[in-house]
Amino acid sequence: MQDDVALVDRSDRGDVVVTGPEARSFLQALVSADLDPLASGERVRSLLLSPQGKLDVAFRALLVDDEVWLDTDPGFGAQLAASLNRFRIRVAAEVRDRTGEFGVISVIGPAVPDALTAGLPAALHAHVAYEGARLVRTEHGVDLVGPNDALARARTQAVFDAVPSVGAEAYDAWRIERGIPAQPDDIDDKTIPQEAELERDAVSFTKGCFLGQELVCRIDSRGHVNRFLRRVHDIEGDWPVAGAEVVVDGKGVGALTSVAPGELRTGALGYVRREVEPPADVELRWDGGHAHARVDAL
């Protein structure tokens, strides 16, 4: 994926649709991103936080005509739908978990076929109709999001069939190398958005009120978090495991949350105390193993 192009079937992702005349205003009052400026054919990353400002679910929102499509990490579709429905009181909006009915195919790499990008607007996250699904421009290529039968038909087309497929382990190694956090391994219900730099593209500080806003905005204006999610690479020694301790000058300063498969060895992700300024050399320790590594920002 890094050098050329690859196709990854990510249809295990959670998928929720919000419909109805008040769908967008309902979401706008709850989620961290500003949906008001978006038009159909645009997309944004967003978070649903707890009232205390910790992460509930991270997701992407696609505006498709009068519907809002939300997709999230595997295993979190039901949680996202349930959390939204808890706040759906006297609102003309419906929230439905359609995980298993909808999916995602990602084509990733610098050599994405021109046939897939030619009809896409240049703006990041723009999306257009494509054979019963939506073709979305991403930071790393394109995603095809839609019903499973539409994705199955697309896989038979020459433009998709010509792209080599890779499995979940290769994708996981790639996203770890790129510093892309996944729920629940790297971000969970204890995570403050700024700890994983989620506020960079998933939080609006100008939209007005949203659930959990007080803590997030207070940290942004006059506070700080005590740890940051970091990339861990150039690992020399034994190959670590998730949970391995990050050590500086003999003192534990964090722990790994995701580790690439041993046969691919692209690196790891982990939380490190804010006092450790990247780039920094660290030790990794765990039962039966030890390694040296380098810590960098996401």
Nearest to 230 by CA among 182, 151, 294: 294
pLDDT for position 1: 47
User: Is residue 82 packed enough to be buried (19+ CB in 10 Å), middle (13-18) or exposed (0-12)?
Assistant: middle
| Long-range contact set of residues 170-175: C-beta below 8 Å, sequence gap at least 24 | 170/1, 170/6, 170/8, 170/264, 171/1, 171/8, 171/10, 171/106, 172/258, 172/260, 172/261, 173/260, 173/261, 173/264, 173/265, 173/266, 174/1, 174/2, 174/108, 174/266
Question: At 237, which helix (H) or strand (E)?
Answer: strand 227-237
pLDDT for position 3: 58
- One digit per residue, the tens of pLDDT, for the chain of length 298 reads 445 999 999 999 999 999 999 999 999 999 999 999 999 999 999 999 999 999 999 999 999 999 999 999 999 999 999 999 999 999 999 999 999 999 999 999 999 999 999 889 989 999 999 999 999 999 999 999 999 999 999 999 999 999 999 999 999 999 999 999 999 999 999 999 999 999 999 999 999 899 999 999 899 888 789 999 999 999 999 999 999 999 999 999 999 999 999 899 999 999 999 999 999 999 999 998 999 999 999 9
User: Residue 1 has which token pair?
Assistant: 């994926």
- DSSP secondary structure letter of residue 60: E
User: Residue 31 has which token pair?
Assistant: 């989620």
**What's the CA dihedral at 261, 265, 271, 274 to 10 degrees?**
180
Cα–Cα distance between 270 and 187 in angstroms, integer?
A: 10
pLDDT for position 221: 83
Q: Where are the domains of the chain?
A: 6-176, 193-296
Class for the domain spanning 193-296:
mainly beta
6-176: CATH topology is Gyrase A; domain 2 (3.30.1360)
